[in-house]
Amino acid sequence: MASLADIRARLAAQENKSTGNNYPQSDGAIYPHWKMDEGALASMRFLPDADSSNSFFWIERQVIKLPFNGVKGDINSKQVTVQVPCVEMFGENCPVLAEVRPWYKDETLKEMANKYWKKRSYLFQGFVRQNPIGEDETPANPIRRFVISPQIFTLIKASLMDPEMEELPTDYVRGLDFNIKKTTKGQYADYSTSNWSRKESALTEVEQAAIEAHGLYNLADFLPKKPSEAELRVIKEMFEASVDGRPYDVDKWGAYYRPFGVQAPAGATTTTVATPAPAPAAPAPVAEAAPEATPAPVAEAAPADTSSDKAQDILAMIRARQSNS
């Protein structure tokens, strides 16, 4: 498991660099915090990723949403949306973003560019310690998964960089709970007052037993599958059709990616991917705004040899503060 210092070093490195396919079926483990009433608070305790090579305790998901003016051949269909993986998530060039990125140089195209720009979300796992939602059923495994929006993730990340946070919040003995607080700003849900608890706490015996019994999730298992070359061509073709205002063509694309509720074409042999059902009360995904001079994607460089030394320095500073307190 990465230390808090390691996470800080990685986050700092990312800040310096920056100025889908088979979607796993739902197993009921995702905690729908967006269903909370206004003014409610949900408290959760994040856990590490089962993948020890992941320096963080979350994983980033990037998707692109392609809107279509109905379904070809269905005169009663309304606008539908197909969700596809953005391959920048896998460190490769995305054919859709390659097309969209230059649009930001033209003021008249910025609104269109935002529509097709990638949407980020962040997958975490952990326990729900305070649950304001009256769930009809809860999974047998109490370790839940959380789909966190960029607004909430920004708060999580900012606090991790705060030198006053002395322990990794996923620590089993001296970790911290994260409180999601739901308010309203205009007509939209707002989570800007969410925060980390300032009181450390240990996992309970029941929680530790759940980890022993069920194990931790490998968060990467819940990312869309990386598209093949054929699927990338289909994504590009669907993007062009969407921009041109054409309807979704089940016969051409239904064997690859489909809107929610649309059946696969008869005789399709390719594994089809239906866009996940929208959560009615979920906050609208926040489009990651690309500035006018958005640079081309930069492959993440391997950490410099000095990064581990820097992380150790930060950790030593934290330990020094602990011994002096």
CATH code of the domain covering residue 78: 3.90.198.10
| Spatial distance between the Cα atoms of 249 and 276, rounded to a whole number of angstroms | 18
Ranges of beta strands (E only) in 113-167 are 119-130, 144-148
Window from 12-26, 70-84, 127-141, 254-268 with minimum mean pLDDT: 12-26
Window from 19-23, 116-120, 274-278 with minimum mean pLDDT: 19-23
Domain count, the chain: 1
- For residue 3, pLDDT over 70 is answered with no
The overall longest dimension of the chain from CA atoms, in Å, is: 73
Q: What is the mean pLDDT of residues 133-139?
A: 85
- For residue 267, pLDDT over 70 is answered with no
* Confidence at residue 74, expressed as pLDDT on a 0 to 100 scale: 86
* Neighbouring C-beta atoms of residue 102, cutoff 10 Å: 11
DSSP-assigned letter for residue 213? H
* Confidence at residue 22, expressed as pLDDT on a 0 to 100 scale: 42
pTM: 0.75
pLDDT by residue (tens digit) across 176-233?
999 999 999 988 999 999 999 989 999 999 999 999 999 999 999 999 999 999 999 9
| Spatial distance between the Cα atoms of 305 and 7, rounded to a whole number of angstroms | 16
Which two structure tokens, joined as six digits, stand for 37? 């009433």
* Confidence at residue 8, expressed as pLDDT on a 0 to 100 scale: 66
Residue, of 251 and 299, whose pLDDT is higher = 251
| Spatial distance between the Cα atoms of 124 and 180, rounded to a whole number of angstroms | 13
Residue, of 225 and 277, whose pLDDT is higher = 225
Nearest CA to 122 out of 288, 310, 300, 276 is that of 288
Contact 35, 62 (CB under 8 A): no
Q: What is the 3-state secondary structure (H, E, C) of 16-47?
A: HHCCCCCCCCCCCCECCHHHCCCCCEEEEEEC
3-state secondary structure (DSSP) of residue 123: strand
> Where does the pLDDT of residue 138 fall: very low under 50, low under 70, confident under 90, or very high at 90 and above?
confident
* Confidence at residue 303, expressed as pLDDT on a 0 to 100 scale: 34
Contact 129, 43 (CB under 8 A): yes
Name the residue range of residue 230's domain: 4-295+303-324
* Neighbouring C-beta atoms of residue 130, cutoff 10 Å: 12
3-state secondary structure (DSSP) of residue 10: helix
| Spatial distance between the Cα atoms of 86 and 65, rounded to a whole number of angstroms | 10
* Confidence at residue 290, expressed as pLDDT on a 0 to 100 scale: 44
* Confidence at residue 320, expressed as pLDDT on a 0 to 100 scale: 52
* Confidence at residue 162, expressed as pLDDT on a 0 to 100 scale: 85
- For residue 286, pLDDT over 50 is answered with no
